[in-house]
Structure 1
Amino acid sequence: MAKYQNWIESEGILKIEGWARDGLTNEQIAGNMGISRETLNQWSKKYPDISDALKKGKEITDRKVENALLNKALGFTKTIRKAFKCKDVVYDNGKRISEKERIEYADEEVYIPPDTTAQIFWLKNRKPEQWRDKRDIEHSGEIGGVVIVDDIPKPDTG
């Protein structure tokens, strides 16, 4: 059986999609498959199932990253599970006779404020005309009042 046949069956397609979803590059995926990146590119062109698995897996990861970036840009509330050390102390006539420690857990809601860097990144990519650092400005017509002089005598250095 040819090597590609293992990868166009459902189990192989599932692995490829999973690796893409985990954020692996095509080169890393090819390495996991035991082939070169060029071979993976050829197989992607020849076998739509492989191409679709790569696209689908990467799209899922891209969406997760986009959502995480958006949350970071806007701020969000998150529930965090915290551990607390508690002591049980037993006294008898004012004298400590035993002490036991235990760990208890409690959920706490924490507000993560908006992140300026995430906001800038989002805006520069989503609205580049308004937010990019470098703007292209076209000028038509003449610039009046400017005279370029290139015949200024050089000082005698001798």
Structure 2
Amino acid sequence: MTANKIRGTPIRREKIFLNKNNTRPNSARKIKTKKRRAVTWAKFNTAKNMMIVQSMCRKGWTNNEIADYIGISLSTFYKWQSEHVEFSEALKEPKEYCIARVENALLTRALGIEKKIHESETVTVEKDGKKVTTTTEKNSLCYYPPDTRAGIFYLTNRAGSDWKQKQQTEVTGNLSIDAAVNTEGRLKAAMERKKKE
């Protein structure tokens, strides 16, 4: 390599050697790319895989994360979802379950929570060379007051017709604008008042 007077010595590009686990990178910047498994619908369509997809949805995984875990692209994921009813049901049911749980949690937070707390504490003390263990148990009642923001959010989404954030008012009647304004007369009257002062 010869040095250029203006740019200096050129950058040496080293060859990229791929492991057996890696495929050819999409670009020079993505050196460590995972090898995509050749996953087809026929290979994937088992009851065990559908249960795994359902559990991922219940845990809050996004579509992109599920597709990456399966080893397919996001476009293939959406294609499977539109073409295969069992796959779309495996995705839909747990997401509805999660939404229902969040709605219930939001409602309880909006109404306030009263919770019984059971605490037990074990203390080991050495007395006269012997270890003595004492356990104390305590029951208490913990109260979390209602959260107004959670209540507002719940009501605007569940009863939107009565609890809208934006108020709309309608005005009825006639409106007329007199375009013939006597500006010349008003100007003369203002000039006369100014002269009097």
User: Equivalents in 1 of 2:133, 2:155: separation in Å?
Assistant: 51
1:37-86 CA deviation, whole Å, 9 max, x = no partner?
A: 21111001111110000001101111111111111111122233435364
- 1:51 maps to 2:88: yes
Equivalenced residue count is 144
Q: CA RMSD in A?
A: 3.1
User: Equivalents in 2 of 1:37, 1:49: separation in Å?
Assistant: 18
Q: List aligned pairs for 1:7-46, cutoff 5 A.
A: 7-46=44-83
CA offset at residue 10 of structure 1?
0.3
Do the aligned partners of residues 111 and 7 (structure 1) sit closer, same or farther apart at CA in structure 2, a change above 3 Å counting?
farther
Residue 104 of structure 2 corresponds to 67
User: Equivalents in 2 of 1:73, 1:54: separation in Å?
Assistant: 29
User: Equivalents in 2 of 1:148, 1:85: separation in Å?
Assistant: 89
Q: List aligned pairs for 1:53-132, cutoff 5 A.
A: 53-84=90-121, 86=123, 88=125, 90=127, 106-132=138-164
> Which structure 2 segments of 5+ residues have no match?
1-37, 184-197
- Greater share of strand: 1
Greater Cα offset, 3-12 or 115-124 = 3-12
- Greater share of helix: 1
- Which runs of structure 1 show a deviation greater than 6 angstroms over 4 or more consecutive aligned residues? 97-103
User: Equivalents in 1 of 2:170, 2:179: separation in Å?
Assistant: 21
SS at match of 2:161: helix
Query: Under a length normalisation based on structure 1, what TM-score does the superposition of the two structures give?
Result: 0.73
> Which structure 1 segments of 5+ residues have no match?
92-96, 153-158
CA offset at residue 111 of structure 1?
2.2
The answer to whether the 8 A contact 2:113-2:146 is kept is yes
1:93-127 CA deviation, whole Å, 9 max, x = no partner?
A: xxxx8886767564533222211111010011112
User: Equivalents in 2 of 1:99, 1:143: separation in Å?
Assistant: 93
User: Equivalents in 1 of 2:111, 2:53: separation in Å?
Assistant: 33
Do the aligned partners of residues 142 and 54 (structure 1) sit closer, same or farther apart at CA in structure 2, a change above 3 Å counting?
same
